[in-house]
Amino acid sequence: MDTTLSQIREFLIIGGPVVWILMGFSFIALTIVIVKLWQLTLLRAESRKVVNLALEAWRQRDAETAIKMLSDKRPVESVVAYTMTSLKQASRDCQCVREEAERRALNILHELRSFLRPMEVIASLAPLLGLLGTVLGMITAFQQMEGAGAQVDPSVLSGGIWQALLTTAVGIAVAIPVVALHAWLERKVERVAHIMNDAVTQVFTSQEGERLAAVAARREVLHAA
């Protein structure tokens, strides 16, 4: 453990300011990942169990039970609950309810995507910063070689080159996991959006099917009369 810590300390000293910046980026990215995982876990954003039960009750025309099952604190359930509550009121226009449900869904998805853009920026900047550190290090190494003239020591030159390449390695090492984690979190948000859209659509289609069945029944009564 002491050897590993001393090596890390040595790398930080050799790499210079660029490596320190990259380490700061990695710390920021790790913090964002922990916060987003905590948020998604606390909200149970991808859970469909309660939503499916509520949709089944809604299809059975038990709106009260369906709405009581849903929680306003969970993303998908809150939008579905609003849609059911609004459609239950005969005075509400379906198009207005649909637009308001879409607005609420977009706001929720915007909150779930918060802090994902900084991760994307870090993933893009980390390799570039590493490359910048390498270029600066190579410039310094060749300046030293020029200053030495005919007394060039190959070991000094090779040492300067590997120190310069260290920043590129650190930049790539930071970027790879950040890119993977960003894609994974983005996929989770897309899954929440899909579940939300699917559930709300089922609410509307069930309501529309019930309305059409009622119209057909009235027409049969009138025809029989």
Tens of pLDDT along 82-116?
A: 999 888 876 667 888 889 999 999 999 999 999 99
Residue 216: other Cβ atoms inside 10 A: 10
Per-range mean pLDDT, top range of 88-97, 132-141, 151-160, 210-219: 132-141
Looking at residue 97, its pLDDT comes to: 86
Separate counts of helices (H) and strands (E) for the chain = 8, 0
Which residue reads 């005919």 in tokens?
A: 150
Q: What is the CA radius of gyration of the chain?
A: 29
Instruction: State mean pLDDT over 27-41.
Output: 93
Conformational region of residue 53, where left means phi above 0, alpha means psi within -120 to 50, and beta covers everything else: alpha
Find the DSSP H helices in 93-153. Answer: 94-112, 116-148
